[in-house]
């Protein structure tokens, strides 16, 4: 089994408008260029019978460390459920739509009600603030019948 991060399949960035080529900024903690997180499973468009499943996280170009561990090029995951990105220069909220994995977890047992849902990962530094540039996954859509 293998996975391909969809940004690697994107069109040539030189074809994008200048506004599309701007790099968003996060907090004060730097991340290496090209680092990204990704959702290994489920995949975009997946149908989840029963709505009870394990979300598996991936990270490329950085390491995972628990919250409060200050080490260069590391962070911990936050799963955004049915919400847009929070402000990228402030602490990531901690609520039902922004789930923190401060012990360095790389998977999560999730139960969702029937309907269409979105999932996205956002890496936070030792203080739960996104890096610069922000390290995040694509936002995927799943459906629970």
**Of 53, 98, 95, 56, nearest in space to 78 by CA:** 98
Alpha helices per DSSP H over the chain: none
- 44-89 pLDDT, tens digit per residue, is 999 999 999 999 999 999 999 999 999 999 999 999 999 999 999 9
Q: Is 69 or 7 the better-scoring residue by pLDDT?
A: 69
Q: What letter does residue 113 receive in the DSSP assignment?
A: -
Distance CA 82, CA 121 (A): 12
- pLDDT for the residue 52: 97
| pLDDT for the residue numbered 24 | 79
Confidence (pLDDT) at 15 = 47
Are 130 and 27 in contact, with CB atoms under 8 Å apart?
yes
- Res 23: pLDDT: 65
Res 22: pLDDT: 62
Angle 103-108-112 from CA coordinates, rounded to 5°: 140
* Cβ pair 133, 23 in contact under 8 A: yes
The string of pLDDT tens digits covering residues 95-130 is: 999 999 999 999 999 999 999 999 999 999 999 999
Please give the average per-residue pLDDT across 29-51, as a whole number.
Answer: 97
Q: Which residues contact 129 (CB under 8 A, 6 or more apart)?
A: 26, 27, 28, 29, 89, 90, 91, 92
Which pLDDT value is given to residue 79?
A: 98
């Amino acid at each position: 089994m293998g996975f391909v991060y969809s940004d690697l399949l994107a069109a040539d960035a030189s074809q994008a408008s200048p506004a599309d080529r701007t790099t968003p900024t996060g907090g004060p903690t730097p991340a290496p260029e090209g680092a990204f997180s990704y959702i290994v499973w489920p995949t975009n468009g997946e149908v989840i019978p029963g709505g009870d499943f394990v979300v598996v996280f991936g990270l490329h170009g950085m390491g995972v460390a628990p919250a409060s561990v200050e080490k260069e090029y590391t962070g911990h995951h936050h799963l955004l459920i049915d919400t847009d990105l929070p402000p990228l220069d402030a602490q990531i909220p901690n609520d039902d739509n922004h789930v923190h994995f401060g012990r360095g977890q790389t998977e999560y047992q999730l139960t969702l009600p029937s309907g269409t849902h979105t999932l996205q990962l956002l890496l936070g530094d030792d203080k739960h603030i996104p890096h610069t540039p922000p390290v995040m996954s694509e936002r995927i859509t799943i459906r629970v019948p």
